[in-house]
Amino acid sequence: SKPLLLVLGDQLSLSLATLRDAPTDAVIALCEVAEEARYVPHHIHKIGLFMAAMRHFAQALRDKGYNVHYSRIDDADNTQSLITEAERIAIQYGCNEVRVARPGEWRLWNAMQQRQEATLPWRMVEDDRFFTSPDDFANWAKGRKQLRLEYFYREQRKRTGLLMEGDTPAGGKWNFDHDNREPIKATLSFPSLPTHRQDALTQEALTDAKHHFSEHMGSLDNFNLPVTRRQALADLNHFLDHGLADFGRYQDAISDTEPFLYHSRLSAALNIGLLTPHEVCEAAEQHYLAGHAPINAVEGFIRQILGWREYVRGLYWTQMPAYKRENRLGFERELPAFYWNGNTDMRCLQRAIQMTIDNSYAHHIQRLMVTGNFALLCGVKPEALCDWYLAVYADACEWVELPNTLGMVLHADGGLMGSKPYCASGKYIDKMSDHCQHCRYSPKQVTGPKACPFNSLYWHFLETNAEQLNRNPRMKLIYGSLSRMKDEKRDAMRLQAEQFLDSLPTSQGYGQALHT
């Protein structure tokens, strides 16, 4: 048989299963299509990233002697959809099947699955660029009521031998989270970032992205994402040398001015395939063994990749498609309009959203405890929030975005992923960040014109979701405080929260938000 090997935009690895076994006469196709840029209104950096990285990868394949067909966004015969474009090219080259590694989204997996019996059949192979396959995860999950990261992660450590000394974990503990909760400090200085040179291929891709998708969020003027393996390796080495040692301690800190702190910024490169999770974890382990970074930093970092990243992927593939429809807390609110333009006087939200608009990036605690926590407290419906996270971050692909948003942030999966919702009042943000001193609200007040909205919303959230949450053992203390509160205080807080919620401008989507 003569296959067309379709390489998707997030499969830019020479080790990809379909490429490894490529027959000599195979045609490899990469397709830029408008449908993938628009099914949610992706940030312009993300579109530029995919276009530039795909073009560079096609070039690298040609340099290796492969026969590559590349569909550019403005080719006259481009059908602008992945399925039809792959089939059109397959027919053009006389191929009798389309072969593809498992895509990163169920939406595409399902469309491809349905064409397995077509005259031009699609064949899917496992994407083995991960530590675990969906089958491995299903076997681990079998018979378990709750799927806790911590147990999955320990097995991953034992299985891979990463940070293991024989049968025991390096440093004597599996988890050093306790040491990793320091707030932001004025005295910290953060590593300056490497600037990636933009060659002619990158410049052309960015120009095309701008031409076709200029209405999308963000500006390409400050585009600095890695689009080749060489640039991704430069980012990795920079992080190992300048970020890793402090990664642990300040993992949860939030800054009013600094978007990246000691985070690695490697998620986009990992997710599109320019780096493998194996090489990143092994390089971090080497830095520990060489004495360049402490165990709390290296363990914390490796847990994110070997633990969380694999865990959310397993969860996604074993729970979809039902997972995407989950909404156990029954949320119905549309997304507040300011998520698209940052137009709010709540300083923490304004900064997290503005940094997102600027860089197509926010670090984990901004995503979880600022934009995520606010959406949870307001009861934003999962579909609206998930579409936003999927659109605005350069590293967003549904297999990793959905469990984080629907499960971890919105607790919409009934606690499958997290044993309690990550809800917090302004007190938490005040403790971890330096936002509140620049804010018109006060994190110490719960009611009144200066009161931080997070505070009344927090109690309002607990009150309105009590039926679902008050029997949760991890929520017992907080529900105890709520029940001891005087009626007048509760009434005043409820009123404050309701008035705030009534005044929130909502949007039906990006197009509309642009005009508000």
Q: Which residues bind to ligand DLZ, rule: CB under 6 A?
A: 8-10, 31-33, 36-37, 42, 46-47, 50, 82, 103-105, 108, 397
Cis peptide before 453 (omega within 30 of 0): no
The structure tokens listed for 94 are 């006389």
Contacts of ligand FAD in 270-329 (CB under 6 A): 270-271, 301, 304-305, 308-309, 312
What tokens does 30 get? 């990469």
68, β-bridge pairs: 28
3-state helix, strand, coil in the chain (%, to 5): 55, 5, 40
Site residues, ligand SF4 (CB under 6 A): 346-348, 426, 429-430, 435-436, 439, 441, 443, 452, 454
Nearest approach, Cβ of residue 313 and ligand FAD (Å)? 8
Minimum CB separation from ligand FAD for residue 102, in Å? Answer: 17
The residue among 459, 213, 258 whose CA lies nearest residue 352 is: 258
Q: Which is nearer to ligand DLZ, 6 or 170 (CB)?
A: 6
Residues 347-406 that bind ligand FAD (CB under 6 A): 363-364, 367-368, 372, 389, 393, 395-396, 400-401, 404-405
- Residues 6+ away with beta carbon under 8 Å from 435: 254, 256, 347, 348, 351, 429
Can you tell me whether residue 122 is helix, strand or coil?
strand
Backbone dihedral angles phi then psi of residue 38, each to the nearest 5 degrees: -120, -10
Other Cβ atoms less than 10 A from the Cβ of 313: the count is 22
Report how far apart, in Å, the C-alpha atoms of 39 and of each of 126, 147, 150, 294, 485 are.
25, 31, 34, 43, 47
| Strand (E) or helix (H) holding 67 | strand 67-71
Instruction: Name which of ligand SF4, ligand FAD, ligand DLZ, none residue 396 binds, using a CB cut-off of 5 to 8 Å depending on partner kind.
Output: ligand FAD
Distance CA 51, CA 33 (A): 10
Which option in ligand SF4, ligand DLZ, ligand FAD, none does residue 264 bind, with CB closer than 5 to 8 A by kind? ligand FAD
Instruction: Find the shortest distance in angstroms from Cβ 226 to ligand FAD.
Output: 11
Residue 405 binding result from ligand DLZ, ligand SF4, ligand FAD, none, given CB thresholds of 5 to 8 Å by partner type: ligand FAD
Q: Residue 348 CB, nearest distance to ligand SF4 (Å)? A: 3
Question: Contact 256/435 with Cβ under 8 angstroms?
Answer: yes
Residue 264 touches ligand FAD, criterion: CB under 6 A? yes
Q: From the list ligand FAD, ligand SF4, ligand DLZ, none, pick the one residue 389 interacts with, judged by a Cβ distance below 5 to 8 Å according to partner type.
A: ligand FAD
CB of 294 to ligand FAD, least distance (A): 16
Nearest CA-CA partner of 331 in 267, 388, 412: 412
Site for ligand FAD contains 344 (CB under 6 A): no
- Nearer Cβ to ligand DLZ (29/170): 29
Of 11, 13, 79, 267, which lies in the binding site for ligand FAD, with binding defined by CB under 6 A? 267
Task: Please report whether residue 45 would count as binding ligand FAD according to CB under 6 A.
Answer: no
Residue with smaller CB distance to ligand FAD, 28 or 275: 275
Q: Alpha-carbon torsion 208, 232, 57, 2, what sign?
A: negative
- In three-state secondary structure terms, 200 is helix
Q: Distance between CA atoms of 172 and 162, rounded to whole angstroms?
A: 14
Cβ-contact 263, 363 below 8 angstroms: yes
Nearest approach in angstroms of CB 158 to ligand SF4 is: 41
Considering the complex, what minimum distance in angstroms separates the CB of residue 379 from ligand DLZ?
28
* Cβ 69 to ligand FAD shortest distance, Å: 29
Applying CB under 6 A, the residues found at the interface with ligand FAD are: 263-267, 270-271, 301, 304-305, 308-309, 312, 363-364, 367-368, 372, 389, 393, 395-396, 400-401, 404-405, 408-409
